[in-house]
Structure 1
Amino acid sequence: MHLPSLEMAVYPVVTMGHGRHRRRSLDPHPISLCSARSQTSSTSSGVRSPDVSSIQKAIRSVFRSSRLTVQQAERLPGRLYQVLLVTLADGSSLVLKCPPIYNTRLLRHEKHGLETERRTLDILRKSTQLPVPDIIKYDRQRGSLGCPFLMVSHMPGRHLCELSPELSPAERRTVDRSLGAYVRAITTLSSQQFGPVHQVYAEKGHSSWKDAFLALLEAVLRDAEDMAVTIPYDNVRYHVRRHAECLSEVTRPRLVALDVCDPQNVLLDERTKKITGLVGFTNAIWGDPLMSGGMTDNNDAFFEGFGECPLQTGGVRTRLLMYTAYRAIVQVVVRFYRPHLSVDDMEARRSLTYALNELARMP
């Protein structure tokens, strides 16, 4: 499917220090009608945590009914965005996704997350049979909630990260095989430009994957520099630029959901242990399918579902190493931007070291 349309010196091999959720935990103090204003936080930019009265007003406006009543709004676990499970008096439910809380510092690629998710869900609902939420409403204005929001249908199930310890080897293989098939379905969708979803829909993407990927990498390196994060900037830029021509092997933009296989974004039926939903599409680009979630795990069941296992030779292996380096840098930088998450970045630093050393050994 078609949509609208560094000069470097040689650096040595990198050496760095070496260093992969329980049942859904809802807010122990869910927002309720009797405490509607207790969780409101205002900011200079006007972004605040929505309360039940404003949520009810927004829902009534969306459905054009004054009879709808919000019974409860529970905060769901989330790494970045405010995610609320809203239960109505009639027993139905929906999910509201709002911007991060006011004092959250965002990386450059995170600033258009809601728009990206809305666009990605829209194309997936129209062009695939994947179990993803329906879009009920996307509002980029500061209306009754006081902030932009994405309203979607509620997907049943428990997160894979919660159920993973309970899965038998056969059940886990079934999940991985399904994820491979889903990633295949996503990457069959194509566009006419490369780059982040929101840029491509605005017809501000790139004509080549090489230019698009280098722009993504440079953006996260600048995020790191803004916070004085200690990573080997010169080595990263040099080795990626040295091998950048292999990125030109990718000639057709494919939809890439970078976090589609994240255990926090995969929902399972608690009884059958089969996938009931995929969520969390704030990080999606038009690019190389090899950059999709699940591609670097060397999981036989995943590739069985995907339909093929890319040979890690030549340009393919080089590209995979560059994508490993990119993901590792993102994980390290997030650790500095949001230290309250208490994320250990040592594994990401080891991955970065490995990827750069392997790129350094390549001719």
Structure 2
Amino acid sequence: MESITKNRQSLDTLRAMVTRAYGKDQVPSRTGKWVHELGHGWFNVAYRVRLRDGRDVVLKIAPPPGVDVMTYERGAMATELAAIELIRESTAVPVPAVDFVDTTGELGGADWFFMPYVDADNYGVIRSTLSAREQDKLDQALGLATRELNAIRGDRFGPLIGPGSPSWRTQFLTMFETVLADGSRKGVDLDYPALRALAESQAGCLDEVTEPRLVEWDLWDSNVLVRDGRIVCIIDHERAFYGDPLIEAGFVATQLRSFGDPTAFLRGYGKLTLTPAEHDRRRLYTLHLTLIMLIETAYRGVTGPRHLDWVRARLTEALALFDRP
């Protein structure tokens, strides 16, 4: 996907990064196709690089400092690295190893890191080619993996790195407010006072969440790598934080069916239905998500009407949830 946040680099800079990470002996020759961009992401740029010894690795580069991003995206690469380390230490969920990290900004003007390339298919890309039974199996496995990730406990709600809050209500309303501020700063056409008042009036349901849990938040099928009918790696952890597991991507479809059928995910997660109170929390999270989906288009430089119309429709659906019992 195209985005102005992608910090693309010259071949000379990419070679310099390889040198710093793996040594001069691994720098690819100047002939042959040794690098290509992995295009499915919408924030960082990522390259598949073939080292001189034949190994394939992935280089991920953060946006340059001069590019404006949404508030929750600041420091996203540091969050991703912290999440990978935490998941590797605390669960059996497969996530990438990290070969090398550079935070100096000397090459590319931003943070970057290398990890081994995982030879597998992107589930979001191949989903439509799979049978219903194959999709059901993978969705169930994704529910199980999400539950294992959510079992990691934190000591406060909020970012993995930096200050948080002992109250989920306080933390979520802060997150919601920063999204509104991001939209206002870019001039996105929304009724900000009404949205703020709606969230505050519904926030009482958040008080029943008292234990911070790790949430990936961005665990869509496009961030799942599969091989031979199994999940072999989960990627893109830069949006992780400590919060309510019900905010996870797999639960969105319980209210917005344009995101698919949640049945197999819920079965894998071990939560077949939501209580009325959970539905109340979930609709706040759905509103929050659809606002981000709309506002982030201004930060990505998206101008095509097709995508904008689609996200506006999802926001309309999210708002309509508050008119239902």
Of 238, 243, 248, the match for 1:287:
243
Tell me which residue corresponds to 1:306: 269
* Counterpart check, 1:173 vs 2:136: yes
Specify the SS of the correspondent of 1:192.
coil
Return the offset for 1:230. Answer: 1.3
Unpaired runs of 5+ in structure 2? 255-261
* Counterpart check, 1:275 vs 2:231: yes
Tell me which residue corresponds to 2:183: 224
Return the offset for 1:297. Answer: 1.6
Of 27, 41, 47, the match for 1:84:
47
Q: Deviations over 1:275-304 (max 9, x none)?
A: 222111111110000001101223111111
Q: How far apart are the structure 2 equivalents of 1:81 and 1:359? A: 34
Higher-Rg structure is 1
Q: Deviations over 1:249-285 (max 9, x none)?
A: 110110111111x23211122xx24322211111111
Q: Compare relative contact order (CA 8 Å, sep 6+) and give the higher one, 1 or 2.
A: 1
Specify the SS of the correspondent of 1:67.
helix
Of 191, 194, 202, the match for 1:243:
202
* Counterpart check, 1:213 vs 2:168: no
Tell me which residue corresponds to 1:143: 106
Of 214, 223, 230, the match for 1:265:
223
Of 80, 85, 92, the match for 1:129:
92
| Residue identity in the other structure for 1:263 | D
Q: How far apart are the structure 2 equivalents of 1:159 and 1:337? A: 25
Runs of 4 or more, structure 1, over 4 Å off, are 101-104
Residue pair 2:179, 2:292 contacting (<8 A) in 1 also:
yes
| Residue identity in the other structure for 2:307 | D
Tell me which residue corresponds to 2:8: 49
Q: How far apart are the structure 2 equivalents of 1:361 and 1:233? A: 22
Higher normalized helix content (fraction of residues): 2
Tell me which residue corresponds to 2:316: 353
| Aligned CA-pair RMSD | 2.2
Query: Once structures 1 and 2 are overlaid, which stretch shifts more, 346-355 or 234-243?
Result: 346-355
| Residue identity in the other structure for 1:335 | T
| Residue identity in the other structure for 1:306 | Y
Specify the SS of the correspondent of 1:79.
coil
Residue pair 1:310, 1:316 contacting (<8 A) in 2 also:
no
User: Structure 1 length as normaliser, TM-score?
Assistant: 0.79
Q: How far apart are the structure 1 equivalents of 2:66 and 2:309? A: 25
Q: How far apart are the structure 2 equivalents of 1:100 and 1:156? A: 26
* Counterpart check, 1:66 vs 2:24: yes
User: Structure 2 length as normaliser, TM-score?
Assistant: 0.88
Aligned residues: 308
Unpaired runs of 5+ in structure 1? 1-20, 22-46
Q: How far apart are the structure 2 equivalents of 1:295 and 1:340? A: 26
